[in-house]
Structure 1
Amino acid sequence: MKVLLLENIHDAAREALVDAGFDVRTRSGALDEPELIAALEGVDMLGIRSKTQVTRAVLEARPEVKVIGAFCIGTNQIDLDAAARAGTVVFNAPFSNTRSVVELAMAEIISMARHLTDKNAALHAGVWDKSAKGAHEVRGRTLGIIGYGNIGSQLSVVAEAFGMHVYYYDLDDKLPLGNAKRCGSLEELLERCETITLHVDGRSGNAGNFGAAEFARMRPRSLFLNLSRGFVVDVDSLRENILSGHLAGAAIDVFPSEPKKAGDAFESVLQGLPNVILTPHVGGSTEEAQLDIGRYVSGKLRDWARTGATTMSVNVPGVTAPQTIGDTRILHLHQNVPGVLARVNAILAEGGANIDGQQLSTRGEYGYAVTDLAGSLPEDTEQRLRELEETVEVRVIVAD
């Protein structure tokens, strides 16, 4: 297996994949579409973070790439539907950097409440501005969380430990943790809370969802945070609300357009505004989080290669394949229509295959069957499986 890792993925991932016997190459920055297509020649596995866009064109140009690891939470940078149609399995790290993002959010809430960045800038400029005006404790204040997933729910718990009153809004009916209260609408949350923080996912429907109307509904002198996706917020409207004084502060970690690599130039309409904290998409960028992500996702890639396991895949059915392979294992990704497994087994039976065990999982349009055989795969059987109308991808693993 040849592996390409981009965007400064933690070295623990490279070490784990090398130890598994893979040929691993690394590149420091993100690649645009033509660069990525060129770099993927002969590559079986791709590892990226949030900047590299794996488009339909990339997947069609490089069908030999059969597994992609997103060493981050989000997967909106990958065309998941096109990947599934190409038989390319995608994994991510949905939990590994949760605590890091939560800690940054709390640090920024406190920093904005105390105007620490303004005080810091003044002191560096030689101005001694000792005053309590506009500085507040966060204890007893209200926090509104938009998106109550892994990060939002853990932030809820940590904020309560600081004495904040927590409300949240989510499209799904999520169980509240601690004393958090669910709001029935986004409007209710915006009107009730003094600090609003976004923790939504990267689905296309979220693009531009937070703009002038939402800022207008927020309470005067509120604080605003976005540590989720840059395209969700109208930054021009955010700027206007900071300059007008309607918002007392903002903390932004993600932007509609971001540089491809460290050291590149960055520009934003939010630069230079009072009590506005700008960070370069570092919510999950702690040594602890990146180490855990590196280990977790590389483990998923390794297990897929060795056993065909797809547990926690974001685009194909999940199967926890047995670690021990008998003689031969057939991995069959197919269209989820009635009768496919019967036809697969008929082909195996006609070839004289002896089935030791079999697992099937379905998810939406796709099914994934893992079949262990005693003995070798009969001649021409693999080709017959590939020729099935419903077949998306067939892979055969032969025991050492």
Structure 2
Amino acid sequence: MTGNPRALLFESIHPSAEGILQAAGFAVERISGAPEGTALDAALAHATVVGIRSKTQMHAAHFQRHPHLMAVGCFCIGTNQVDLRAAESKGCAIFNSPFSNTRSVAEMTVAEAVCLFRKLFEKSAQLHAGRWDKTATNAHETRGRTLGIVGYGHIGSQVSVLAESLGMRVIFHDVVRKLPLGNAQSRPTLEALLREADCVSLHVPETPATIGMIGAKQIALMKPGAILINNARGTIVDVEALAAALRTGHLGGAALDVFPDEPAAAGDLFESQLRGCPSAILTPHIGGSTEEAQELIAAEVAEKLVHFWQHGSTETCVNLPEVDLPVLRAGQLRILHVHRNVPGVLGTMHTLLAKARININAEYLQSNPRTSYVILDVEGFEDPKLLDGIAAMPETIRMRTTAGSNAPSASDSRK
């Protein structure tokens, strides 16, 4: 590609991302919604970097058909909408925002717990229907209740802190040993947590181990009248089993912000067995949808894309080896080389540079079991054919260069 790099932003990403990318020299195009099929391919045809949220699906075929894509920014927490291995095989970096909407999701989770314990949504619906029903039956304070958090990561631990400030007793279960915050206590198994908690809140990623994690068997373990909150991933909970537990009264309430099948666009019909359950709070995947969170996410991911484009930095990249790189000094050239992780690649590169009498001022290397990422800062560079030689190495996945002015050169070779 020639000219300015092109950034393509889908799904109504916060406008501050556009400003950050434009300031870095990108030509930015915004497309509302999440295109599919030929429409998505047509949009990707001229993109250098792409910004998506949770709806746009980037499959292996997209990276095969569009090897010019240098990076994809997921302006959200999850990256399961992207084929990470396929992107890695093309040297395409994938970035996300694992922290920026933490507070928004945590606040909503605790607010939903309060609403469910107090039956606020049910009482509101009754008044809207003209029915006055002032009663304390089945309404409880959160103070003294036990909150069970499944997944004690960024969001789960923040929910823990907020809930404890309301006087709740917090227990949690995580597959990785985690440091408890405040007075929270860990539980060794999911089953132990389910039996003990008055409210269970899910905060786990979508993995083969978490799909269907909460089904009829697990719901049966929960206390009669307990409540379930899922603001994580829609595939974690068996919705049919949950709906049955709500209608029989085994569970006292539930709040879901995510669903196995979600409409593609605003205004589309939402179908779920949970519709019509008065004890269920249903929201349209808005856990992180606050102005504050979206602005933070936009800045975080856009800046990661800029740093990768300008300097080659892959810090917090989810699919390529992570390297945090300094700004390149004027007069130097930075060679960014993604290659298969096999012996001899560095030796070949060093030999080529030595024969050309090129001095290496700095070298950085990180690897994972499949892929290595080496960065060479050099000076005295005069022979552009040398780059062709490095790019032609059979182990090369992708190679590009940036100049000391921080303006990337047009050099981008990939296989």
TM over 0.5: yes
- Cα displacement string for residues 144-180 of structure 1 (whole angstroms, at most 9, x for unaligned residues): 1111110011111111111111111111111111111
Q: Which residue of 1 aligns with 2:75?
A: 71
The separation in 1 between residues aligned to 2:384 and 2:159, in whole angstroms, is 56
Structure 2 residue aligned with 1:225, among 221, 224, 229? 229
Q: Which residue of 2 aligns with 1:345?
A: 350
Q: Which residue of 2 aligns with 1:355?
A: 360
| 1:209/1:233 contact within 8 Å kept | yes
Structure 2 residue aligned with 1:381, among 383, 386, 389? 386
The separation in 1 between residues aligned to 2:399 and 2:341, in whole angstroms, is 15
| 1:31/1:260 contact within 8 Å kept | no
- Cα displacement string for residues 313-371 of structure 1 (whole angstroms, at most 9, x for unaligned residues): 00011111111344211001112233322222112222222211111112332211111
The separation in 2 between residues aligned to 1:296 and 1:379, in whole angstroms, is 35
| Larger displacement relative to structure 2 (86-95 or 120-129) | 120-129
| 1:168/1:189 contact within 8 Å kept | yes
Q: Which residue of 1 aligns with 2:64?
A: 60
- Cα displacement string for residues 155-208 of structure 1 (whole angstroms, at most 9, x for unaligned residues): 111111111111111111111111111111111011111111110012233222
Matches within 5 A, 1:165-180: 165-180=169-184
**Aligned Cα root-mean-square deviation (Å):** 1.2
The separation in 2 between residues aligned to 1:197 and 1:305, in whole angstroms, is 39
1:376 CA displacement = 2.7
**2:141 matches 1:137:** yes
Q: Which residue of 2 aligns with 1:267?
A: 271
The separation in 1 between residues aligned to 2:388 and 2:161, in whole angstroms, is 54
Q: Which residue of 1 aligns with 2:201?
A: 197
Structure 1 residue aligned with 2:34, among 17, 30, 36? 30
**2:87 matches 1:83:** yes
The separation in 1 between residues aligned to 2:113 and 2:104, in whole angstroms, is 14
The separation in 2 between residues aligned to 1:20 and 1:84, in whole angstroms, is 25
Structure 2 residue aligned with 1:106, among 100, 104, 110? 110
Q: Which residue of 2 aligns with 1:396?
A: 401
Structure 2 residue aligned with 1:119, among 120, 123, 139? 123
The separation in 1 between residues aligned to 2:392 and 2:222, in whole angstroms, is 58
| 1:212/1:237 contact within 8 Å kept | yes
The separation in 2 between residues aligned to 1:323 and 1:120, in whole angstroms, is 57
The separation in 2 between residues aligned to 1:88 and 1:248, in whole angstroms, is 47
The separation in 2 between residues aligned to 1:37 and 1:195, in whole angstroms, is 44
Q: Which residue of 1 aligns with 2:242?
A: 238
| Larger displacement relative to structure 2 (322-331 or 134-143) | 322-331
The separation in 2 between residues aligned to 1:309 and 1:370, in whole angstroms, is 10
Q: Which residue of 1 aligns with 2:163?
A: 159
Structure 1 residue aligned with 2:338, among 319, 333, 351? 333
The separation in 2 between residues aligned to 1:175 and 1:365, in whole angstroms, is 32
**2:322 matches 1:322:** no
| 1:6/1:26 contact within 8 Å kept | yes
**2:379 matches 1:367:** no
The separation in 1 between residues aligned to 2:173 and 2:166, in whole angstroms, is 20
1:210 CA displacement = 1.4
Structure 2 residue aligned with 1:7, among 11, 17, 23? 11
| 2:75/2:297 contact within 8 Å kept | yes
Amino acid at match of 2:333: T
1:130 CA displacement = 1.1
Q: Which residue of 1 aligns with 2:413?
A: none
The separation in 2 between residues aligned to 1:204 and 1:398, in whole angstroms, is 43
Question: Taking structure 2 as the reference length, what is the TM-score of the superposition?
Answer: 0.94
SS in 1 for 2:209: helix
The separation in 1 between residues aligned to 2:39 and 2:173, in whole angstroms, is 40
1:377 CA displacement = 5.4
SS in 1 for 2:200: strand
| 2:328/2:334 contact within 8 Å kept | no
In structure 1, list runs of 5 or more residues that go unmatched: none
The separation in 2 between residues aligned to 1:250 and 1:45, in whole angstroms, is 39
| 1:328/1:377 contact within 8 Å kept | no
Matches within 5 A, 1:241-256: 241-256=245-260
Q: Which residue of 2 aligns with 1:187?
A: 191
| Larger displacement relative to structure 2 (339-348 or 367-376) | 339-348
| 1:351/1:379 contact within 8 Å kept | no
SS in 2 for 1:231: helix
1:93 CA displacement = 0.3
| 2:150/2:156 contact within 8 Å kept | yes
| 1:2/1:43 contact within 8 Å kept | yes
Amino acid at match of 2:337: H
The separation in 2 between residues aligned to 1:156 and 1:229, in whole angstroms, is 19
Figure out how many residues of one structure are paired with residues of the other and give that number: 400
| 1:210/1:232 contact within 8 Å kept | yes
